A and B are shown apart, each in its own frame.
Chain A
Amino acid sequence: MKNKSVPAFILIPVSFLFGVELGKLPVNNYTLKNGLRVLIYSDTLTPTVSTQLWFKVGSYYEPSGLTGISHLLEHMAFKGSKNYPGDLYSRLILENGGQSNAFTSENYTAYWSDLAFDRYELALKLEADRMKNLLLDSLEFESERKVVMEERRLGENSPYGIMWENFYAVAYLSHPYRTPVIGWMDDIKRIRVSDLRNWYRHYYQPKRAVLILAGNIKPSSAIKKVEKYFGKIKGKDVSELVFSEPPPKGERRIKIKKAVKTPFLMIGYRTCDISNPDYFPLEVLEGILLGGRSSRLYKRLVYEKGLVTDIFGGSDIEKDPGLFYFFAVVKDTTKISETEKAIDEEIERLKIDPIPNQELEKIKNQVLANFFFQQDRIRSIAFSLAKWEILLGDYTFFERYPKKIAEVKEEDIKRVLARYFTEDRRTVATLFPKEEK
């Protein structure tokens, strides 16, 4: 067990960026003997504590036939254990005035509970129990499976949901990012409770987990409590799965039809993974093209040309090679090709013309401001720290991020534009309105 620092205040000044003091975050980190990573973020000015347990498992790890199993397990993790049967996990948190929930992504599954600062031990106790003692009862599973099928249907009824699912299934050829986190309907129906139990035993290991406590706590006493509840949990090593995606052989283009009134256009370029230095210029590029109403694409497509009602997107890199995407809600079908052309032109213009320094400064200011906005809610800062720890094994990424962005130069942006924004790396999906019967 190691103890890195004992912070006294919320922000210890280390550097100045654009006149604002950038702090070193008050995080203590530990590794228990069983391999569990523990982060403690202390903020003595908040009356709450957010307790979160993140596991390195999600749709990324799921084989064909079992897609959606990580998400199903997340649902079943609220259905009781030997010690806390039935709905006791949720009920105990609720009766203590807390809020709790969970979410599943490609590369992680996370559980969180927020409680008043003097009650967080309850969440620790429950999360430790959840790691090892889930019942995964077969009757409960049959009922919960139906809930998840309803959740999937909600996505099918949303034009945005349909667009995403189809787009990713085409943008990736073999990499598991091609399957939706919620899973395919056939698999949700197929998965057996025994599959779920195996999945749970295999992946819910201390070595594959990050526990974060954020809020008004003293690290020295909090870590003792963590030891008390998690120290005895035994774990095993699980070999890491690695997937890659073959190099793109050319543009992929699909048309989807749905009973909507306005068409959607989605364009994505295959980019890099999270550890690549190109990560940061891509983030700045997102700001230039899509960050707010002063961004290039908003100005051109929404404001000046009136081609679309919304344009959003950006660099979407979860862990493995990701996408830089544009999602446009086009006003009508006659404007689709003009919209696509305008997006292309803006990319080409950026490749050739100089980028005004003022524009780069703006993006850097936005990132800096966001860095503080994110810390406003204790739960969100815990989300960020845990996410980077799970994905990179390095929560300090969060505090280094604004500085890394500040270091991005025009030539870095030009480099990523030339490297990734090519026709061969592109996927284009269009959703057309279909006549309703």
Chain B
Amino acid sequence: MKKISLIFFFLLNSLFAFLIQRDALRNGLIILSAEDHKLPILEIRVIIKAGSVFDPKGKEGLANLTIKSLLRGTKRYSALEIYEVIEAVGARIGEWAGYDYSQISISLLAKDLDLILDIISDLLFNPSFPDTEIKKLKSEITAGILRDEGQPYYLLAREFYQTLFAATPYSHPTVGKKESVEKLTREDVLDFYNKYYIPNNIFLVIVGDFKREELISKIEDIFGKVPRGEPLEFSFPEVKRLSGRKAKIITKEEVNQSYIMLGHFGIKEGEEDMIPVRVLNFIFGAGTLTSRLGKEIREKRGLAYDVGSYFDRRLYSGAFVCEMQTEIKNTQEAIKIILNEIAKIKKEGVKLEELKRVKRFYTGNFPLTFDSYGEKAGLMTNIELYHLGEDYLGKFKERIEGLSLEMINEMAKRYLDYENLLLVIVGNVREEDLDLSGWEVIK
């Protein structure tokens, strides 16, 4: 069988090179591999390009239930046998659904590669989805939702994204809602599985102590026989922009801080502006001690322990979020400071000194971003999933160094907004405790 192969070679300096090999099997399965013989271990990621964004309406949580069901039985092994076989050799496995993709992630000793590859292929292409197991899983998931509802941060994030991304598949938590999970059936899982768990919708990432030629031929032997599936169509609905300032207050009497999220839509991962936008955000709010938000809120005034902002990483849309937790009586002040800082950076832009500093950070920090097998695997996953391009690593430094003050200030104008915003607060606070003039309070 002939496979297509590509190499991205990235040279950090004369001593360190990071070599990523991209192979494609005839059935469309992609393998990204990077040899690293420092330790006798391997890090494997199996990425199925179907996350919770593919959950049908009313069936929220289906992607998550599907990936979790894989480990609950195959035609060869029962759930307990799967755990036993994997853990007997000291390997670790985790499986979950994100928004854009579902993932199985395994750390193992290199000597157990054959065994683990065999299990992965069994999980992926031979699951039996026992009905009793699916029922058990559903009960575990819904109990987990109740558990998480005891945490203010969980309630905050769920409410924020649900409101911001309303009417899009990004609005629900990846695990789904209690009511929707309860209704899911084995047939739903089978449908989802048949549609998305096809070799041409999956890629493998492998980092560590292996020889590429051997690895690829093993994978070809094991995975190559699975037939290619029907190409998938997916379109993400148009997001409805926010108009005006909306606020939502969730009163929890026992919570002695206001948990705050404030933000709006952001940017799709992989878009041209992503790098300058991240640089802008670095100056604005990334870094608890050193960013503008960190300085104003934590360092100068001691209003919060955690404070920061981010543009999140999603394939079809994105969010810009400022978040913090502060003592109830400081709620109003904290919100005011965030709004002022957004207004200020839009109006006045960033300082040349700030830009120079962030450039020094990004260029100096670059080697630290792939310091471990796990981080290399994460980086390779992002490159493939978000189409960052084979020259992403090679050109990264150059792109950072090429950023001008005008460009960053243009990003602030384009991607930050203080007029159209969503604010969500969870804590022992009520609408009447706050001055929300100019805000539309939503229930």
Q: Is A78 within 8 A of B289, CB to CB?
A: yes
User: Which residues of A are found within 8 Å of B136, using beta-carbon distances?
Assistant: 303, 306
Q: Is B147 within 8 A of A150, CB to CB?
A: no
Interface string of A139-158 (1 = CB under 8 A from B): 00011111111110110111
Q: Name 7 A/B residue pairs within 8 A (Cβ), A-sorted.
A: A94-B290, A153-B256, A292-B83, A303-B79, A367-B90, A369-B90, A370-B90
Is B120 at the interface (CB under 8 A from chain A)?
A: no
Partner of A262, one of B15, B147, B302: B147
Q: Is A157 within 8 A of B90, CB to CB?
A: no
User: Which residues of A are found within 8 Å of B301, using beta-carbon distances?
Assistant: 143, 146
Q: Is A143 within 8 A of B91, CB to CB?
A: no
Q: A157-B256, A436-B254 are in contact. Are A309 and B327 (CB under 8 A)?
A: no
Q: Is A95 within 8 A of B361, CB to CB?
A: yes
Closest 4 CB pairs of A and B: A97-B364, A369-B90, A146-B302, A260-B150
Size bracket of the A interface: 35 or more
Stretch of A42-50, A318-326, A342-350, A417-425 lying at the B interface: A42-50
Is A297 at the interface (CB under 8 A from chain B)?
A: no
Known: A48-B368, A143-B302, A294-B80. 4 other contacts (CB 8 A): A260-B150, A309-B143, A329-B143, A375-B39
Is B56 at the interface (CB under 8 A from chain A)?
A: no
In the bound complex, CA of A21 to CA of B146 (Å) = 45
Is B144 at the interface (CB under 8 A from chain A)?
A: yes
Q: How far is the CB of A99 from chain B (nearest CB, A)?
A: 6
Partner of A362, one of B88, B325, B364: B88
Is A377 at the interface (CB under 8 A from chain B)?
A: yes
Is A164 at the interface (CB under 8 A from chain B)?
A: no
Chain A residues in the interface with B (C-beta under 8 A): 10, 19-21, 43, 45-48, 78, 87, 90-91, 94-99, 114-117, 119, 142-151, 153-154, 156-159, 258-262, 291-294, 299, 302-303, 306, 309-310, 329, 331, 358, 361-362, 365-370, 372-373, 375-379, 433-434, 436-437
Q: Is B151 within 8 A of A158, CB to CB?
A: yes
Partner of B253, one of A20, A95, A437: A437
Name the residue on B nearest A153 (C-beta).
B257
Q: How far is the CB of A223 from chain B (nearest CB, A)?
A: 22
In the bound complex, CA of A142 to CA of B367 (Å) = 37
Q: Is B140 within 8 A of A294, CB to CB?
A: no
Partner of A331, one of B80, B143, B326: B143
Partner of B147, one of A329, A369, A436: A329
Q: Is B80 within 8 A of A261, CB to CB?
A: no
Is B12 at the interface (CB under 8 A from chain A)?
A: yes
In the bound complex, CA of A156 to CA of B305 (Å) = 13
In the bound complex, CA of A379 to CA of B304 (Å) = 27
Q: Is B146 within 8 A of A262, CB to CB?
A: yes
Q: How far is the CB of A71 from chain B (nearest CB, A)?
A: 12
Q: A148-B305, A299-B80 are in contact. Are A369 and B91 (CB under 8 A)?
A: yes
In the bound complex, CA of A97 to CA of B374 (Å) = 20
Size bracket of the B interface: 35 or more
User: Which residues of B are found within 8 Å of A46, using beta-carbon distances?
Assistant: 38, 371
In the bound complex, CA of A154 to CA of B152 (Å) = 10
Name the residue on A nearest B136 (C-beta).
A306
Q: Is A309 within 8 A of B140, CB to CB?
A: yes
Name the residue on B nearest A258 (C-beta).
B254
Q: Is A21 within 8 A of B40, CB to CB?
A: yes
Q: A10-B38, A98-B365, A116-B368 are in contact. Are A150 and B326 (CB under 8 A)?
A: yes
User: Which residues of A are found within 8 Å of B299, using beta-carbon distances?
Assistant: 87, 143
Chain B residues in the interface with A (C-beta under 8 A): 12-13, 15-16, 36, 38-41, 43, 79-80, 83-84, 86-92, 107-109, 111, 136, 139-140, 143-144, 146-147, 149-152, 252-257, 259, 287, 289-290, 295, 298-306, 325-327, 357, 360-368, 371-375
In the bound complex, CA of A271 to CA of B343 (Å) = 57
In the bound complex, CA of A292 to CA of B91 (Å) = 10
User: Which residues of A are found within 8 Å of B300, using beta-carbon distances?
Assistant: 143
Q: A94-B361, A378-B371 are in contact. Are A294 and B15 (CB under 8 A)?
A: no
Q: Is A147 within 8 A of B364, CB to CB?
A: no
In the bound complex, CA of A114 to CA of B214 (Å) = 35
- Select the residue from A91, A98, A153, A368 with max chain B CB neighbours within 10 A: A153
Q: Is A114 within 8 A of B257, CB to CB?
A: no
Q: Is A95 within 8 A of B360, CB to CB?
A: yes
Q: Is B302 within 8 A of A368, CB to CB?
A: no
Q: A375-B39, A376-B374 are in contact. Are A151 and B289 (CB under 8 A)?
A: no
Q: Is A96 within 8 A of B147, CB to CB?
A: no
In the bound complex, CA of A46 to CA of B43 (Å) = 17
In the bound complex, CA of A210 to CA of B58 (Å) = 57
Q: How far is the CB of B72 from chain A (nearest CB, A)?
A: 9
User: Which residues of A are found within 8 Å of B91, using beta-carbon distances?
Assistant: 369
User: Which residues of A are found within 8 Å of B303, using beta-carbon distances?
Assistant: 146, 150
Name the residue on A nearest B298 (C-beta).
A147
Q: How far is the CB of B369 from chain A (nearest CB, A)?
A: 10
User: Which residues of B are found within 8 Å of A147, using beta-carbon distances?
Assistant: 298, 302, 304-305
Q: Is A150 within 8 A of B327, CB to CB?
A: yes
User: Which residues of B are found within 8 Å of A373, using beta-carbon distances?
Assistant: 41, 92, 107
Partner of B290, one of A90, A157, A291, A310: A90
Name the residue on B nearest A99 (C-beta).
B368
Q: How far is the CB of A316 from chain B (nearest CB, A)?
A: 20
Partner of B368, one of A98, A149, A310, A367: A98
Q: Is B41 within 8 A of A372, CB to CB?
A: yes
Q: A154-B257, A309-B143 are in contact. Are A159 and B151 (CB under 8 A)?
A: yes
Q: Is A87 within 8 A of B371, CB to CB?
A: no
Q: Is B371 within 8 A of A294, CB to CB?
A: no
Q: Is B327 within 8 A of A372, CB to CB?
A: no
In the bound complex, CA of A361 to CA of B372 (Å) = 28
Q: How far is the CB of B275 from chain A (nearest CB, A)?
A: 16
Q: Is A20 within 8 A of B109, CB to CB?
A: yes
Q: A20-B40, A47-B15 are in contact. Are A294 and B90 (CB under 8 A)?
A: no
User: Which residues of B are found within 8 Å of A370, using beta-carbon distances?
Assistant: 90
In the bound complex, CA of A98 to CA of B362 (Å) = 9
In the bound complex, CA of A142 to CA of B372 (Å) = 39
In the bound complex, CA of A145 to CA of B305 (Å) = 10
